[in-house]
Amino acid sequence: MPDINSNRYFFEHQFLPKLYYDPNILLPVEIKRNPDLLNMNWKNILEKTNVPDAYPDGIWKVQGYEIDPHTAVMRVVCPEPEKEPQCYWIHLLFQYNLKKRFFFTVEKGGLFEEGPFLCGWDRNLKHLNFGVCENHIEKSLDQAIEIFRQMPDNYPEVQSK
């Protein structure tokens, strides 16, 4: 039976990565056109699963800015995570030409962990764990940018199904 936690996992770890890598949707462009897009999708998921919303309206905040002349980030500030692996932040890094993009998550760690984990989803929707990161929005983004810059263009190649 769906609940707020299973819906949140689905939204942060399945729905958003799939939407981000969908070749027919340019998510950063769509969010710029409609800043409330993530909140609308969140509400739709709750309605379809008949789960009441535990968060106030407009909780999924989106911030975007340029990293350099070729690269930008769209950051999603998530509701405060209550348990692992809920996200603190989601960093959507991309080159303007979209040859390279990556979906990073900053996930709450377990009870005995030293901090949150910097993780992500590649184009094949494979989950990757980059290890413990700073529990700070800007420092975790700096770590994500460093990893992103080391990735080859079009990482990884999309595997045919």
Question: Is 114 within a domain?
Answer: yes
* The one-letter amino acid at 122: D
Quote the domain boundaries for residue 140: 4-150
The pTM (predicted TM-score) of the whole model is 0.92
* Domain total in the chain: 1
pLDDT tens-place string over residues 131-157: 999 899 999 999 999 999 999 887 776
Question: Is 159 within a domain?
Answer: no
The contacts of residue 1 (CB under 8 Å, 6+ apart) are none
Question: Is 160 within a domain?
Answer: no
Question: Is 155 within a domain?
Answer: no
CB-based contact 91:140 (threshold 8 Å): yes
Question: Is 157 within a domain?
Answer: no
pLDDT tens-place string over residues 18-72: 999 998 888 988 998 998 999 999 999 999 999 999 887 778 999 999 999 999 9
Question: Is 41 within a domain?
Answer: yes
Question: What strand order describes the sheet that includes 117-121?
Answer: 61-68, 71-77, 87-95, 101-107, 117-121, 127-132
